[in-house]
Amino acid sequence: MDFKIRAAIKEDCKEIQRMIMELAIYEKMPEQVKISHEELERDGFGQNSYFECLVAEVPEEHKYKAGHTVVGYSLYFYKYSTWKGCVIHIEDLYVMQEFRGNGIGKALLSKVAEVGKKKQCQRLELNVLDWNKPSRDFYAAKGAVDLTESEGWHALRFHGQSLDNLANEAPED
């Protein structure tokens, strides 16, 4: 199937928001999604850009029954390792179910890797859920190392009340 990978533009944010929700349903946490397409427009394409995004597009004749031609996306940003410098991080990589098996996911992943290399990043990182075997197999086949298994890294989070408590206890300047 013909498809094209291109940089997302502001006008793609409605379609990206739709796919963010589809991915959250697949990940069994749809109630977690609080982001609107207006917020994506502001946060990715406004004055302070927190992320960049690629989309996969198919020609009109292949469009899905609901009319979508944007059928996949990869949203990424830059982190920093105090050991190795710049790191490119994929927050989401998603292809609509009806369009899987055509190499679109692989193309999105490779394109982000290319972007990262151009920026001198030594690492490309992402997180997967332990029960998501199709994704884990996909990334492992391409050479990803599971840092949680090999080095024992755990991800921690403060949010809600615990984050407020911390912030309220900050020493004065």
Q: Which of 73, 76, 94, 139 is catalytic?
A: 139
Min separation Cβ 114 and a second copy, Å: 4
Strand partners, 75: 53, 92
CA-CA distance, 99 to 1, in Å (whole number)? Answer: 9
Instruction: Please identify, using beta-carbon distances, which residue of 56 and 65 lies nearer to a second copy.
Output: 56
Site for a second copy in 7-36 (CB under 8 A): 20, 23-24, 29, 32-35
Residues in contact with a second copy, counted by CB under 8 A, come to a total of: 79
Judged by CB under 8 A, the chain residues 48 through 87 that form the site for a second copy are 50-51, 75, 77-86
* 113 near a second copy, judged by CB under 8 A: yes
Under 8 Å between Cβ of 71 and 79: no
Q: Is 139 a catalytic residue?
A: yes
Q: Are strands 4-7 and 52-57 parallel, antiparallel or unpaired?
A: antiparallel
* Distance from C-alpha of 36 to C-alpha of 105, rounded to nearest angstrom: 24
Give the SS3 label for residue 92.
strand
**Residues designated catalytic:** 139
